[in-house]
């Protein structure tokens, strides 16, 4: 599932390729009302055609395009489990196991939206499993107003970070994935952060020591920064990350020689290292 680094990669893709160029064509290969939320037929096309993207923005896992014009609606995107943006003619890693690419047939398979620009760039939103969401809103606060801070953009200081957990009795694995607490952290990031902080994923959030909280905050910052600096190219993630060994729940999986155990926390498959956590 795309998490903060993968969505940041998509934000940069749009910023680098499409900012300032008028939109020449908007096409929905499939009218998918599961992905498009409360968007009438033709409404999305009318809202974007002829406009320019002035800013490509992100908060947590939410991505949106700021368009020129005071009356412009805001197109907002959430990738769900398998959503991604791809650019025509460009191949690139989207997230682990993603098959999304712009180098094959166009529009790509599972494309829900294709946007062409006068500079020749074409972007497609693809989503095989259809859990992603595309909206048009008058005010982006409708979408991000209830989200917690984004750790790449506005990491809380030590005191504010500690305050996030004082009244939360849920396991820290569950709590740290709550988008109303911190925006952008999903399953693989939560496992990586807690592994590197040496905190068991079932520890109650409000029972964490000050030392554990400091370690978690440090590792949130570290994991987000390193993953974004790698532009979400997982081959560039450090060799000692749990990430490279946590997939598939295979028996005997190890990281740095230590055994990985798989449990379920809050309904999510969770990888951790009993020797260290």
Does the active-site annotation cover 202?
no
Using a 10 angstrom Cβ sphere, with 0-12 exposed, 13-18 middle and 19 or more buried, the burial of residue 173 is buried
Cα separation, 83 vs 202, in Å, equals 29
CB 215 within 8 A of CB 199: yes
CB 94 within 8 A of CB 100: yes
Does the active-site annotation cover 3?
yes
* Catalytic member of 2, 75, 108, 201: 2
Cα separation, 193 vs 173, in Å, equals 10
The beta strand positions in 220-260, using DSSP E, are: 254-255, 258-259
* Catalytic member of 9, 61, 112, 133: 61
Using a 10 angstrom Cβ sphere, with 0-12 exposed, 13-18 middle and 19 or more buried, the burial of residue 264 is exposed
* Residues identified as active-site: 2-3, 61
């Amino acid at each position: 599932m795309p998490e903060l680094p993968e969505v940041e990669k998509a934000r940069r893709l749009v910023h680098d390729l499409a900012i300032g160029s008028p939109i020449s064509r908007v096409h929905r290969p499939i009218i998918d009302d599961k992905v498009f939320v409360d968007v009438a037929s033709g409404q999305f096309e009318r809202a974007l055609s002829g406009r320019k993207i002035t800013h490509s923005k992100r908060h947590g896992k939410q991505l949106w395009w700021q368009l020129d014009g005071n009356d412009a609606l805001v197109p907002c995107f959430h990738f769900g489990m398998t959503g991604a943006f791809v650019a025509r003619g460009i191949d690139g890693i989207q997230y682990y196991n993603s098959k999304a690419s712009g180098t094959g047939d166009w529009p790509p398979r599972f494309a829900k939206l294709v946007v062409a620009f006068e500079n020749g760039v074409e972007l497609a939103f693809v989503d095989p499993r259809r859990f992603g969401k595309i909206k048009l809103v008058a005010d982006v606060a409708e979408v991000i107003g209830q989200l917690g801070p984004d750790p790449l953009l506005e990491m809380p200081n030590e005191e504010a970070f500690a305050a996030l957990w004082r009244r939360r009795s849920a396991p820290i694995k569950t709590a740290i994935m709550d988008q109303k607490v911190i925006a952008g952290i999903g399953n693989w990031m939560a496992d990586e952060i807690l592994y590197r902080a040496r905190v068991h994923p079932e520890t109650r959030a409000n029972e964490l020591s000050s030392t554990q909280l400091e370690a978690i905050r440090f590792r949130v910052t570290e994991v987000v920064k390193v993953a974004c600096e790698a532009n979400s190219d997982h081959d560039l993630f450090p060799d000692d990350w749990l990430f490279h060994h946590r997939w598939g729940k295979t028996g005997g999986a190890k990281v740095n020689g230590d055994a990985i155990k798989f449990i379920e926390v809050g309904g999510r498959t969770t990888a951790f290292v009993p020797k260290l956590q």
